[in-house]
Structure formats: structure tokens, C-alpha cells
Amino acid sequence: LNQTFNVYGYDQVVIVEDDLEVAPDFFEYFTATLPILKADKSLWCVSAWNDNGKTGLIDENAVELLYRTDFFPGLGWMITKDLWKEIGPKWPRSYWDDWMREPAQRQERACIRPEVSRTKTFGKVGVSNGLFYEKHLKFILLNNKFVPFTAMDLSTLIKDNYDKNFVAEVYKTKVYSLEDIKKGLNLPSRESVRIIYRNRDSFKKISKSLGIMDDFKSGVPRMAY
């Protein structure tokens, strides 16, 4: 990264591990989100990855859907030269992904991530990936459709716009208990619903029941916002 930014003089870089397959619109996605990343100082990265992006947990038809997340996803991600100037001098020798998730680095900033992942890992062995590849990573769905993101208005991802819409979208949904969901009682067929958790333990219980990742990193649940 020092070579890329300081010697070659690039202003941004997309970091891709050598065990990743990429989607047809991978570069289109990063090209379109770069202006948002540069304009919104509450963002610090764009990621191609959804940690909960398995079939049955995502809307496979909503390939254009993008979110903000407080959780650093990695697995195909873009940062700017300005960010590297900030974090590069203190870059760790190992476990850099969890280091990136620490409050000292994140500083309340968010990343952009997709509903349907634009990368898929095929690497079983690795410092971070090998621990749960077989039971999780290999089931992440890779998008196979080209979305013309550069022709779309992505200003909805800027914090003020996004937060207003996000809060409205969340609180217009009806609240159900985990038991309601499991039993399928009176659930709307295609509408979003809301389950409320009160603490870490209740989040873990709900997450395990729904099949989504239940871990926290530096106090932030995976893919949370």
C-alpha cells in the first residue's frame, strides 16, 4: 500500500485478496461509490462483501441495494490515500482486519456494502478465513448480474440522506418476536419485519435462530449500523 499510494501516486486503491472471485460489476461498483467515499467524511471504506450474504438471508433480486455499516467487512475493499496516511504508519503485523474494527481506527466511521456480495472467497486456508470457511464463507452468494451503478443516483448513501431514510424504513415495520418468526404466525409475505434485541445475549440468541452471524468485534455486531 505504501508503494501504491506513495510511489505510484494513486489516490485510492481496491484491495483484493488472492483467493477472491469477483462479480461482473465489481469495478462498476467501486467506480460509482468512489465519489461518495470521497465526499462523505463519515465513511472510510467501501466493501464488496456482505458477511450474511447467503441464499435465504438476502434478497437475491435486490442486486442494486447498498447499505452503510459500522462493521468493517473487508474481502474486497477500497480506501483513499488520505485514510492510508492516517492508518498506514501504525499498521499491525498481523490480524489487520480485527485491528481495523477497533474504535481507535474506525472512529465512528462507516463503510458501504452491498446486499449481494461482489466477491466470493475460495480460500480455505488463511489467517482469518480458515476458521470458518467450511461452515460459512463458502455459502456466500456472488452476484452474477451487471448493475449500472455509475448511471444511478447514489447520494442516498451520504449520511444525512441515508440516516433519515434508514430510520424511517426501520420504524415503519411491524415488530415481531423471535417465536412469531419461527412459527410463521401472521407474517407478511414480502414485507420487512423487525425483531428487537436488548443486549448482546439476546442478539446472539436471535442471530443463531435466524442463521446470521452472531459475533461482535469491538462491540459492533457483524454488518450492524
pLDDT tens across the length of the chain (225 residues) = 999 999 999 999 999 998 899 999 999 999 999 999 999 999 999 999 999 999 999 999 999 999 999 999 999 999 999 999 999 999 999 999 999 999 999 999 999 999 999 999 886 665 444 566 777 888 999 999 999 999 999 999 999 999 999 999 999 999 999 998 888 877 777 788 999 999 999 999 999 999 999 999 999 999 999
User: Distances in Å between the alpha carbon of 196 and those of 40, 56, 175?
Assistant: 30, 21, 7
What are the residue ranges of helices labelled H in the chain?
2, 26-39, 81-87, 96-100, 103-106, 159-171, 178-183, 200-210
Please enumerate in sequence order all residues whose Cβ is within 8 A of that of 217, keeping only pairs 6 or more positions apart, or say none.
71, 72, 98, 101
Strand duo 193-194 + 174-175: pairing? parallel
CA–CA distances in Å: residue 29 to residues 8, 49, 123: 23, 12, 23
Strands 174-175 and 220-221: unpaired
Q: CA–CA separation, 87 vs 95, rounded Å?
A: 14
145 vs 149: CA distance, rounded Å: 12
Q: Beta strands 43-47 and 110-114: pairing type? A: parallel
Query: Which residues are annotated as catalytic?
Result: 97
Q: How many residues does the chain have?
A: 225
